[in-house]
Amino acid sequence: MHVRVLGCSGAIAKDCRTTSFLVDSDLLVDAGTGVGDLTLDEMSAIDDVVLTHSHLDHVAALPLMLDAVASRRNKPLRVHALRATIEALRAHVFNNVIWPDFASIPSLEAPFVTFHDIVIGQELELGTAALKHIEVLPAVHAVPACGFAVRCASGGPHWVFSGDTERNPAFWQRVNQLDVAMLVIETAFSNREQGLARRSLHLSPATLADELAQIAPAREYPIYITHTKPAETEEIMSQIAALADGLQMQGQRAWDIRWMEAAGVLRV
């Protein structure tokens, strides 16, 4: 299974694209601005989209992608999300004011997109080019949100994505039960902005350290940092490195922490 990093930034700037991952060729995890780097053929091959939540940086490209490739497809694009996320999209995006209601055109019987409810703890099997098993994980954010654990349907370790979240003990309780190949976890703000991170329910390096401390002792896997604000990325990564060095100097557990960059490909 391949995970292509289309976007992993917490905001836009030159070479910074917001959250989106393409799993193999047919599953899109979030639909941030990174989707715009795909070709028409690549967008047309996507049959399923799973969304962590309704915030613009995670859904901005969805209506634009539909507009670009709807006429090239012979079946609806399936969008899977929490009920609150779907309600937000239908009320505020696909409302015939901000964007056409692609769930009712060209007809209700044969729309360009269909929406499908998911719930925390649910397990799905999606994919046409390659079947994938997806588990919906809990998240703690300013709007209803989730994360995902994705693996090949035939078995193997999981690619785990936290989604946007703050402190989340239920997430770690479940992740510690999974075979994890790698973890992608957000750290949106630096410690200097820790108050803002707390209010907006995002992680900062200090709270990230507290979260990673919940990983079971026997578990080791690379940890990719995503969703950093472009103006703070260097500061965030410097603070994370300092925390990791401090733990190592104290003889505590050292983590394999990496900064995620757009255009990379993760092999699970």
Interval 9-46: pLDDT, tens: 999 999 999 999 999 999 999 999 999 999 999 999 99
pLDDT level of residue 249 (50, 70, 90 thresholds): low
Specify the pLDDT at position 251. Answer: 67
Specify the pLDDT at position 129. Answer: 78
List C-alpha distances in Å: 50 to 47, 126, 204.
10, 10, 25
Mean pLDDT (whole number) for 214-233:
94
Specify the pLDDT at position 142. Answer: 97
Exposed e or buried b for every residue in 231-267, given b needs 16+ CB within 10 A?
ebbebbbebbeebbeebeeeeeeebebebbebeeebe
Specify the pLDDT at position 253. Answer: 74
Domains in the chain with CATH codes? 2-267 (3.60.15.10)
In the chain, the percentage of residues whose pLDDT exceeds 70 is: 98
Instruction: Quote the DSSP letter at residue 9.
Output: B
**In this predicted model, which residue has the larger pLDDT, 166 or 244?**
166
**In this predicted model, which residue has the larger pLDDT, 231 or 129?**
231
Specify the pLDDT at position 156. Answer: 96
Residues 72-126: tens digit of each pLDDT: 999 999 999 999 999 999 999 999 999 999 999 999 999 999 999 999 999 999 9
Residues 182-208: tens digit of each pLDDT: 999 999 999 999 999 999 999 999 999
In the chain, the percentage of residues whose pLDDT exceeds 90 is: 90
Q: Helices 233-249 and 205-212: crossing angle, nearest 10°?
A: 40
Specify the pLDDT at position 137. Answer: 98
